[in-house]
A and B are shown apart, each in its own frame.
Chain A
Amino acid sequence: MTVELDRQGSHNGYVEGLPGYRDDAPLLEVEDLQVEFHTRDGVARAVNGVDFSLRAGETLAVVGESGSGKSVTAQAIMGILEEPPARVAGGEIRFRGVDLLKLSAERRRRIRANHVAMVFQDALSALNPVWTVGFQLGELFRKHRGMSRKDARRRAVELLDMVRIPAAAQRVDEYPHQFSGGMRQRVMIAMALALDPEVLIADEPTTALDVTVQAQIMRLLSDIQAERHMGLILITHDLGVVADVADDITVMYAGRAVEQANVRDTFASPAHPYTKALLRSIPRLDVKGQRLEVIAGLPPVLTDIPPGCAFAPRCGYAQDVCRTERPPLSTVTAGRSAACHFASEVMTDDVN
């Protein structure tokens, strides 16, 4: 099924009029983003200077274990962090040159769903249980496009149809709990795509689903992305999915990007020990009867990140310098960067 690009009038038409807008600027750039949470136990630095950029039509995978700052980065881009306790302490998030962090709350709100949209994990809790799916989809058209209830409902049916939900016209009046897990996630995707955003952030979109459904949802996402030439940020810890659909990868650890590269290069020869350890911990079909590889130790407590490299305590390559001096994210080879003092050794060292 093909999806018709529905760019009514002058495109989505909001961000164009904002200060800093340039048509030729990169779609989304995150520069030195810092987010901290003010808790009773002190300040937790969830994101400590993350940089990346996203081009139209590109899929960027953001990978890392729980608490590495992936979801917080995504929520900071969306502007839906709970503030307080969260606070964006520094950095820039530029959408086509417009620094989103400098916009007023009202302007920020209008960017959401119109230009940058998000698919959450676990659609059952992410959809409101007391409103019909049609209402929750139609709301976007009514509130952002000023459509009548009737037109909004018609558009909701079209959307459900687009995400390949059978009998969309009947199902539009049903409630989220009446859908199966996979269908619910399709609704979630339809909701994010409703206003035809240029950037889609998918935060572990397949985590709550079983494997066959996961594949269908990923297929749907990448099909739509290709058709619409969207920028897709895929947050996941499923490296199999990353290998399948992503172009570039950003590996995060303790709130920092530790490796950024093309997916193929990273998988072939990781330049950071953490990436390497992650790849090793994927269960393999050809190695049976052995214990799964794990990364020994735990990530640091975010209120008390040690000086030096945050991964050093768990790292086999660690030397004294790692415990005192934090390695910056720097270029290893063309188009590849890693935050490790021994990046080139890690890359060439053929331990796996």
Chain B
Amino acid sequence: MGRYVIRRLLQAVLTLFFVLFLLHYLLSLAIQVNGNPARTFFGDKPATPEQIAAVEAKFGTDDPCLDRLGDPCLGMFQQRMADWMTLDFGTNFDGYAVTDEIVRAVPPTLILFAISTSVWVLFGVTTGVLAAMKRGRFFDYLVRAGTTFTVAVPTFLLLVITQQLVGVSLGNWARDTFGRESVLGIVFQPSYDDRYPFLSLLVPGILLGAFGIAGITRLSRTSMLENLRADFVRTAKAKGLTSRRVTIVHTLRNSLIPVITLVGFTLADALGGTVITEGIYSIPGMGGLAYNATRENDLPVVIAIVAILSVCFMVVTLLIDLLYAVLDPRIRYE
């Protein structure tokens, strides 16, 4: 196990390095092809070469390598890595430190993800497993119909409708009945409230969780069904174990292995989903930050966020691989 962890960690570091370099190279290439973004800073106004040079220097795009098409700009890469090591992500076009912007945007997104992951794991896996146990009965059909429904309805539609129904209609009733500052009043708000980050993120978090839950529920069900038919489950029954133990000890753990992988992928997928969710619920998180920065061509912010997201993705993949090894001993010894 120890060797597996070390090997996997080294792989992750190496991959991260390549990803960051690729990111840097693509951005350098974009500047080399499209011209220096410092120019857009002046809009239609004429600018002297000195002024442009000053802006280029300010945003760190003054390296002459950016004028040579195809140059990997290794010097810049080195500089950028050194800066990032000290958590310095430069300044955005409005002159604020990108690091501060990100630090502000991380908590709401993190809470959002914590809520939706819990929804996947607690709700998705549990209903999937129960549906498998009650195969062919009413509950099973209900779960299957429900998952098909959530897949069929686009996430943004679900978000908008729920915002109206829960945030406005139910919310108005809750605020009228229990008062504006009551727990229900805050939970059923149509938008984010930075005084109560957790409570006001509950509904959008659950909704983001609903995005992707169908796959996890279905996979849990299928995986469970497959394992319930497995020979080793029959052996476990033949050993005279209680059906509870047969299910939990001899079926569930084996069934969770593929589900874990899907949770990881869904988490990565949901990174895109947050942009929509955060947009609709006006949550000042990473998704919103990325959306605005891309629209305004705010290069330093875009680079920083993409880099951070790739790190997140890598960490999630790493955690999943490690969890995988914990659940399935066959992987450790390969």
Contact check, A120 vs B234: say whether CB atoms are below 8 A apart.
yes
Contact (Cβ within 8 A) B239 A140: yes
In the bound assembly, the distance between CA atoms of A177 and B238 in angstroms comes to 21
**Is A219 on the interface with B (CB-CB < 8 A)?**
no
Stretch at the interface among B9-17, B115-123, B326-334: B326-334
Instruction: List A residues 115-158 near B (Cβ within 8 Å).
Output: 117-118, 120, 122, 125-132, 139-140, 143-144
For A127, list chain B residues within 8 Å (CB): 232, 235
Q: Is residue B61 contacting chain A, with contact meaning CB distance below 8 A?
A: no
A235 within 8 A of B: no
Instruction: Encode B220-232 as 1/0 by CB contact (under 8 A) with A.
Output: 0000000001111
Task: List residues of chain B with CB within 8 A of the CB of A82.
Answer: 229
A261 → B minimal CB distance (Å): 29
Tell me the smallest distance from the CB of A138 to a CB of chain B, in Å. Answer: 11
* B236 contacts the other chain (CB 8 A): yes
Interface of B is mostly: helix
Evaluate contact between B245 and A143: CB separation under 8 angstroms: yes
Interface residues on B, range: 20 to 34
Determine whether A22 belongs to the interface, using a CB cutoff of 8 Å to chain B.
no
Cα–Cα distance between A130 and B323 once the two chains are bound (Å): 13
**Binary CB contact string for chain B from 276 to 300 against chain A (1 if under 8 A, 0 otherwise):** 0000000000000000000000000
A80 to B228, CA, bound (A): 12
Known contacts A125-B231, A126-B232: does B238 contact A80 (CB below 8 Å)? yes
Partner of A78, one of B238, B241, B333: B238
Q: Mark B238-259, 1 if CB is under 8 A from A, else 0.
A: 1111100100011001100000
Instruction: Find out whether the CB atom of B239 lies under 8 angstroms from the CB atom of A126.
Output: no
Known: A132-B329, A143-B242; 17 extra A-B contacts, CB below 8 A, are A112-B240, A120-B238, A125-B230, A125-B232, A126-B232, A126-B234, A127-B232, A128-B235, A129-B232, A139-B239, A140-B239, A143-B245, A144-B240, A175-B329, A175-B333, A178-B333, A192-B238
30 residue pairs of the A-B complex, CB under 8 angstroms, read A80-B238, A109-B241, A109-B242, A110-B240, A111-B240, A112-B238, A113-B240, A114-B240, A118-B238, A120-B231, A120-B235, A120-B238, A122-B231, A126-B231, A126-B234, A126-B235, A128-B232, A128-B235, A128-B236, A129-B254, A130-B253, A131-B250, A139-B239, A139-B249, A140-B240, A143-B241, A144-B240, A175-B330, A188-B235, A191-B239
Residues of A within 8 A of B (CB): 75, 78, 80, 82, 109-114, 117-118, 120, 122, 125-132, 139-140, 143-144, 175, 177-178, 188, 191-192
